[in-house]
Amino acid sequence: MLLWVGLGNPGPEYARNRHNIGFMAVDAIAARHGFAPWRNRFRGVVADGTVAGRKVLALKPQTYMNLSGESVQAAMAFFRVPLDAVTVFHDELDLAAGKVRVKKGGGNAGHNGLRSITQHCGGPDFWRVRLGIGHPGDKERVTGHVLGDFAKSDREWVETLLDRIAEAAPFLAEGRQDQFMNKVAGGTTLVPPDPPA
């Protein structure tokens, strides 16, 4: 079994936050691939399904971001999922908006959800799907940017990105992370460049 974890904060007030793009990604995958309805388990909500012939459990921790690892660890223990079968979808400040990168292991770059999973689940060697939300340019504005909603002008590229992630999910299930990234990139940029000043 593969465990695919979307990171975010529970509650309608956070639903459109940039910090919740991990939740949005696993929602899109579950919808596209006909997963069972979401249900409460492991201090989160889970939905299970099959992608490219592999059984996948999608998990959205409902513990708030800083304690995400408690939910992930509970699901891993119950299903005996090894760390390298865990993929975490999360927002990434250090990637331009709309960019996606996949990596295994590494640091947490100040991301409290990743830090919690590393602490609770046996180390950093899980897969990460890093979903670029861009950097506001000023350290003082980071919290407001991350916890702010996507703007109306972002809606088109966010929806396109989520659709591509759901479409490319079979590559992830097959362990073909490079092909997943290529499929999501699709040869086009998702976010229009800023107009010249």
3-state secondary structure string, 152-165?
Answer: HHHHHHHHHHHHHH
Report yes or no: 19 and 102 within 8 Å, Cβ to Cβ.
no
Cα–Cα distance between 59 and 40 in angstroms, integer? 10
Amino acid at 119: Q
Report yes or no: 77 and 69 within 8 Å, Cβ to Cβ.
no
19 is catalytic: yes
Of residues 112, 147, 196, 163, the one with CA closest to residue 88: 112
* Residue 71, strand partner residues: none
Burial class from Cβ neighbours inside 10 Å (0-12, 13-18, 19+) for residue 142 reads: middle
Q: What is the DSSP letter of 188?
A: S
- Which residues have a catalytic role annotated? 19
